């Protein structure tokens, strides 16, 4: 039977109604999930309990544990990983000193994607053939993609962190989640049931596959959300923002889920506000990357701050190189992946690390390190351009700058009430002929990397 069989569509319409929704949720989350975990030889649930215990501790205790894990990671890498063994020897670096003073870590150089590609297998603690592992490719949104290898233990911790974070915001295992995913043109309708179907059942998860975010595509998304009514919806903020603008314009707003979990792109204040207002939901931000997994989450909601998960890695931030605004770049040392430890890894994401009595938090999150645009020969951070568009030009729903053309192309989605001629006149007043201006729909934006992410700046 194919996955688009009418019987399955009827079943879906039945299972979203009570009491069948609750029964399906409990069967998937508390019966099928343990079966799937055992069948796949995974070990996630004990790690979720470990995370609950860790974050119930006061911050000074958690900080001591994080430092101990940092030292243990450094000692392991220095003993088992050829690149770090040679580096520690050359620097006469003693990992034990980090426990007394974390600033001693600054004796080590930063780890970049270029170094990872250059060193290759010298960054592994053992041959890949020696055991099961997962390969995870970075999205390539800030340059060439890089492959990161996880051992099973690291993959299990990554899954546990996602589960724990969602648990903190009320998404318990019996509550459903929906993920947005790209629909590829040559994608065939699969047979049912498949391994993926059982995985989705066990995780109480379903997917929306989309290939357009014009009015037709957005209407399809909205109808699917209204039909399934998940507890949590997960997507890039640019996609949900486009949907929120559409629903507000066409229906005056609407509600189809409780929580929007933003991931993969910078969640900007105007997008957060519109999504919360138009879709009548809580908006939760998270920060994760293919190299390390989820590393920060709004565990106590937006008001509680963007908390770094120090159980998973040691955070730092440095003044970003070649950034005219003095912004800071995030740097992490991961604790969980013993197959390929990443020490002082530069993420390319701009934010500061702030330590308080409650934990480590991300502040001043402003985007990607490459989001700098030359205008008439002067480099401008993207958020400066956005401030100009928001507060001086106005009437702009979203924008993108394509640096691949000469002059750069400024693509703009106007608010319904805005006028293209007036907007063009204002833009020319501020920036003369620095841009070729194109008025487009959300569907016309360029998406970058293997995960088709939206970026305000497209450079390659």
pLDDT digits (tens, 9 = 90+) for 163-193: 999 999 999 999 999 998 866 545 666 776 7
> Has residue 221 got a pLDDT over 70?
yes
Mean pLDDT, range 57-80, rounded to an integer: 98
**One domain for residues 289 and 343:** yes
**280 domain residue, yes or no:** yes
Structure token pair of residue 162: 């996602």
**One domain for residues 409 and 449:** yes
**One domain for residues 293 and 321:** yes
**34 domain residue, yes or no:** no
Q: Which of 369, 390, 422 is the last residue of a domain?
A: 369
Least confident piece of the model among 134-138, 170-174, 211-215, 451-455: 451-455
Q: What is the largest CA-CA distance in the chain?
A: 67
Q: Please tell me which residue, 398 or 169, carries the higher pLDDT value.
A: 169
The burial class, CB within 10 Å (0-12 / 13-18 / 19+), for 46 is exposed
pTM across the whole model: 0.83
Confidence of residue 199 (pLDDT cuts 50, 70, 90): confident
323-329: long-range pairs with CB below 8 Å, 24+:
323/350, 323/369, 323/372, 323/381, 324/372, 324/379, 324/380, 324/381, 325/366, 325/381, 325/383, 325/384, 327/364, 327/366, 327/381, 328/352, 328/353, 328/364, 329/369
Q: Which one of 51-55, 211-215, 432-436 scores highest in mean pLDDT?
A: 51-55
**One domain for residues 318 and 383:** no
**One domain for residues 352 and 433:** no
Confidence of residue 109 (pLDDT cuts 50, 70, 90): very high
**358 domain residue, yes or no:** yes
Q: Which of 369, 397, 414 is the last residue of a domain?
A: 369
How far, in whole angstroms, is CA 144 from its chain's centroid? 18
**One domain for residues 339 and 246:** yes
Mean pLDDT, range 101-123, rounded to an integer: 94
Confidence of residue 324 (pLDDT cuts 50, 70, 90): low
pLDDT at 8: 58
Confidence of residue 320 (pLDDT cuts 50, 70, 90): confident
Number of independent structural domains in the chain: 2
pLDDT at 455: 82
Ordered strands of the 457-458 beta sheet: 436-439, 409-414, 396-402, 457-458
Mean pLDDT, range 339-357, rounded to an integer: 94
Q: What percent of the chain has pLDDT above 90?
A: 62
**20 domain residue, yes or no:** no
Sign of CA dihedral 245, 250, 255, 257: negative
Confidence of residue 195 (pLDDT cuts 50, 70, 90): confident
**One domain for residues 326 and 448:** no
**One domain for residues 82 and 106:** yes
Least confident piece of the model among 27-36, 219-228, 387-396: 387-396
Q: Which of 354, 369, 384 is the last residue of a domain?
A: 369
> Has residue 145 got a pLDDT over 80?
no
CATH of the domain at 419: 3.30.300.30
pLDDT at 368: 66
CATH of the domain at 107: 3.40.50.12780
N-to-C CA span, the chain: 42
**One domain for residues 329 and 449:** no
**209 domain residue, yes or no:** no
**One domain for residues 268 and 306:** yes
**One domain for residues 352 and 395:** no
> Has residue 17 got a pLDDT over 90?
no
Average pLDDT over the chain, rounded to an integer: 89
**191 domain residue, yes or no:** no
The contacts of residue 13 (CB under 8 Å, 6+ apart) are: 227
> Has residue 330 got a pLDDT over 90?
yes
CA distances from 404 to 323, 334, 435 (A): 20, 35, 12
pLDDT at 240: 94
**One domain for residues 290 and 418:** no
**63 domain residue, yes or no:** yes
| Residue 115 domain boundaries | 42-175+231-369
**152 domain residue, yes or no:** yes
């Amino acid at each position: 039977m194919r996955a688009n069989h009418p019987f399955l569509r009827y079943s879906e319409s039945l299972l979203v109604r009570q009491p069948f929704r609750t029964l399906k949720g409990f069967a998937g989350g508390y019966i099928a999930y343990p079966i799937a975990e055992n069948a796949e030889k995974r070990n996630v649930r004990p790690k979720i309990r470990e995370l609950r215990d860790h974050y119930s501790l006061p911050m000074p205790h958690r900080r001591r544990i994080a430092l101990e894990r940092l030292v243990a990671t450094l000692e392991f890498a220095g003993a088992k990983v050829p690149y770090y063994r040679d580096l520690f020897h050359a620097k006469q670096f003693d990992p034990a000193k980090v426990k007394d003073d974390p600033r001693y870590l600054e004796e080590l150089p930063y780890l970049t994607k270029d170094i990872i590609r250059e060193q290759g297998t010298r960054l592994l603690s053992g041959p890949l053939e020696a055991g099961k592992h997962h390969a995870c490719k970075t999205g390539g949104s800030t340059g060439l993609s890089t492959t990161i290898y996880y051992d099973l233990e690291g993959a299990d911790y990554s899954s546990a962190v996602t589960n724990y974070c969602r648990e903190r915001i009320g998404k318990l295992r019996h509550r459903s989640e929906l993920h947005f995913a790209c629909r590829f043109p040559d994608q065939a309708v699969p047979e049912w049931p498949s391994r993926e179907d059982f995985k989705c059942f066990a995780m109480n998860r379903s997917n929306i596959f989309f290939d357009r975010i014009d009015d037709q595509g957005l209407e399809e998304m909205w109808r699917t959300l209204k039909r399934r009514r998940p507890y949590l919806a997960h997507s890039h903020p640019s996609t949900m923002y486009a949907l929120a603008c559409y629903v507000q314009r066409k229906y005056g707003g609407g509600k189809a889920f409780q929580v929007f979990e933003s991931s993969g792109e910078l969640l900007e204040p105007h997008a957060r506000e519109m999504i919360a207002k138009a879709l009548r939901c809580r908006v939760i931000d998270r920060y994760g990357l293919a190299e390390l997994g989820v590393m920060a989450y709004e565990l106590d909601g937006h008001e509680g701050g963007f908390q770094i998960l120090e159980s998973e890695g040691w955070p730092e931030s440095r003044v970003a190189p070649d950034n005219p605004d003095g912004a800071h770049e995030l740097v992490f040392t991961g604790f969980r992946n013993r197959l390929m430890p990443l020490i002082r890894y530069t993420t390319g994401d701009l934010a500061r690390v702030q330590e308080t009595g409650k934990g480590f938090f991300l502040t001043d999150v402003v985007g990607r390190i490459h989001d700098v645009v030359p205008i008439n020969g002067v480099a401008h951070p993207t958020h400066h351009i956005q401030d100009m568009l928001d507060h001086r030009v106005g009437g702009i729903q979203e924008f993108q700058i394509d640096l691949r053309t000469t002059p750069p192309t400024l693509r703009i989605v106007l608010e319904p009430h805005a006028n293209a001629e007036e907007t063009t006149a204002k833009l020319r007043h501020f920036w003369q002929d620095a841009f070729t201006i194109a008025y487009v729909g959300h569907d016309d934006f360029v998406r970058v990397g293997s995960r088709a992410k939206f970026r305000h700046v497209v450079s390659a």
